[in-house]
Amino acid sequence: MLVKSLFDRFLAIFRDETGTTAIEFSLLAIPFVFTVISIVELSLFFATSSVVDGALDVVARQIRVGQIQQEETIEAMEDKFIEIVCSHGDVLTDCNKIEFEVLKLDKFSTDIAATVNEEGGLVDPAFEVDAITAGCVSLIRISYLYEFLTPLYGKMWSNYPGNQRLLIATTVVKSEPFDFDVDEDCSI
């Protein structure tokens, strides 16, 4: 009985010819649509940010335990690095827009500020993974320019041209004693 009563009330809304329902709906429809689009846009942005952070964690672990350094050449090491990062974030990120930097540091207190140009790209990113041996302190950085899908929200939240926002994930790790045969290990 209660269900029939509710159903009758629901149908009465559509039979109402006074127009008040249509006016109320038209006043609320635009803000509602903008709110839904905003929620979806921000969800995609934060999901992409999490994917970039996760890719950094995975690749930093591979460097810390010496998996990437086992490759024969620096080009093979770089290809392995790119493969790991892109396989982790291939759903939400465009692998061609990912930039990275791997530096061997002298100590943990070294300045690790990122240098970024006006287009949002890393300035002269180094890839020194071949110099990282057991006990070395290393900096691994991934940057990604996220492009907002909607122009309105892109203008509000972007910090680079083309409705883009720069995402940078950085970590500093000390590698594990994975290579005992190397004469020039970093101090452990």
Question: How does pLDDT run across 149-180, given as a tens digit for each residue?
Answer: 888 888 888 888 888 999 999 999 988 877 65
Nearest to 147 by CA among 104, 97, 87: 97
Domain assignment of residue 4, yes or no: no
Asked whether residue 104 is domain-assigned, the answer is yes
- Cβ(135)–Cβ(188) under 8 Å? yes
Q: Is the pLDDT of residue 182 over 60?
A: no
**Is residue 52 one of the residues assigned to a domain?**
yes
pLDDT at 106: 81
Could you give the residue ranges of the DSSP H alpha helices within the chain?
Answer: 2-15, 20-64, 74-88, 151-157
Query: Residue 26 pLDDT more than 90?
Result: no
Q: How confident is the model at residue 184 (pLDDT cuts 50, 70, 90)?
A: low
One-letter amino acid of 156:
M
* Dihedral pair phi/psi, residue 92, rounded to 5°: -100, -10
Q: How many domains would you assign to the chain?
A: 1
pLDDT score at 119: 86
Tens digit of each residue's pLDDT (9 = 90 or more) over 77-105: 999 999 999 998 777 888 888 999 999 88
**Three-class SS of 78-124:** HHHHHHHHHHHCCCCCCHHHEEEEEEEECCCCCCCCCCECCCCCECC
2 assigned to some structural domain: no
pLDDT of residue 83: 92
Domain assignment present for 9: no
**With 0-12 CB in 10 A as exposed, 13-18 as middle and 19+ as buried, what is 127?**
middle
Would residue 179 count as lying in a domain?
no
Whether residue 15 is contained in a domain is answered as no
pLDDT category of residue 126 using cuts at 50, 70 and 90: confident
Residue 13 has pLDDT above 70, yes or no: no
Does 89 reside within a domain? yes
Q: Tell me phi and psi for residue 161, to 5 degrees.
A: -60, 155
Residue 93's domain comprises 20-174
